[in-house]
Amino acid sequence: MLELQNISKDLGGKTILDGVSLKVNRGETLVIVGPSGTGKSVTLQHMVGLLRPDQGRVLVNGEDIHAVPGRDQERLRGIFGMLFQSGALINWLTVFENVALPLYEKTQLGDGEIRDLVQRKLEMVGLSGQGHKYPAEISGGMKKRAGLARAIVHDPQILLYDEPTSGLDPVMSRIIDRLIRELQRELKVASVVVTHDLQSAVTVGDRIAMLYEGRIIEDATPKAFMASRQPFVRDFIEAQFGRAAAPAA
Ligand SMILES: Nc1ncnc2c1ncn2[C@@H]1O[C@H](COP(=O)(O)OP(=O)(O)OP(=O)(O)O)[C@@H](O)[C@H]1O
Ligand SMILES: [Mg+2]
């Protein structure tokens, strides 16, 4: 469904990605963890075709998103839904209008159809009845959910989440985790979740990959990841869960 093959990228005179290969299949959730500034968001930007790799290929359903003509690139981008790290809601539009925007921009659907689709997506994320509010009037967790409703409004096949639980309290974080799981099941999407939150990674991931200094140093099931003997992976786990999270003997 989505595959990065040996992606390398220099930005600002520094090598950010150094031969990154990742794969995610339909109905599967891949989590990417790693320290701040290590290139996780840059990796997502390569996936949707917003950044062009210096080397390597990004295959979406077998098509190279950077090699196809412009019109096909648009079509391939339409396969993606993305929840941005910043939320990226437009402040002067209501929640409803924010979610409806991609449909007005990219489809020929009429007002009635758009209204129905938006209502359904707001329901899915637990925001029915909140569509008339402005971003400034809702909490951080609601903003994430509104961003999520917008990300799924055009029924994407691949969903990318950049730090879906950052800045949220643990209760809201677990609600978002559950939502990611539900969407995976209901929409049968392939998902990629970038997070610092190991609890979230273990809950939503079928696989967890760790990006460190531009390379993937681990890519394993949550259970195998937690038992990894890779020193940087151990440091990362122990920083969050303490030394009790020792690898299984
Ligand atoms: N357009 C750009 N031009 C130059 N440098 C960039 C650009 N985008 C990102 N970088 C640099 O690439 C590195 C990786 O950035 P990225 O945003 O992917 O990190 P991250 O792993 O997502 O970090 P965080 O966990 O803090 O979100 C950083 O050093 C950043 O400054
Ligand atoms: Mg980031």
What is the CATH code for 1-61+160-241?
3.40.50.300
Tell me the DSSP string of 90-134.
-TTS-HHHHHHHHHHHH----HHHHHHHHHHHHHHTT-TT-TTS-
Could you give the percent of the chain with pLDDT greater than 90? 61
Average pLDDT, stretch 114-139? Answer: 92
What is the best residue among 4, 8, 11, 216 to mutate for testing ligand 1's pocket, by most ligand atoms within 8 Å of CB? 11
- Chain segment 190-219, per-residue pLDDT in tens: 999 999 888 899 999 999 999 999 999 999
The stretch 78-91 carries a mean pLDDT of: 85
Q: Which atom of ligand 1 is nearest to the CA of 38?
A: 21
* Atom of ligand 1 minimally distant from the CA of 12: 4
What are the tokens at 44?
């997502």
**Looking at the predicted structure, is the pLDDT value of residue 246 above 80?**
no
State the amino acid at position 245 in one-letter form. A
CA of 16 from ligand 1 middle (Å) equals 8
pLDDT of residue 233: 93
Beta bridge partners of 20: 7
Where are the domains positioned within the chain? Answer: 1-61+160-241, 88-156
Furthest-apart CA pair in the chain: how many Å? 60
Which residue intervals of 166-230 are DSSP H helices?
170-187, 198-204, 222-226
What pTM did the predictor assign? 0.90
Cβ neighbors of 9 (< 8 A, separation 6 or more) are 15, 16, 17, 39, 42, 46, 51, 53, 54
Q: For the segment 21-35, what is each residue's pLDDT rounded down to a tens digit? A: 999 999 999 999 998
The DSSP element (H or E) to which 69 belongs, if any, is none
Please tell me what DSSP assigns to residue 230.
-
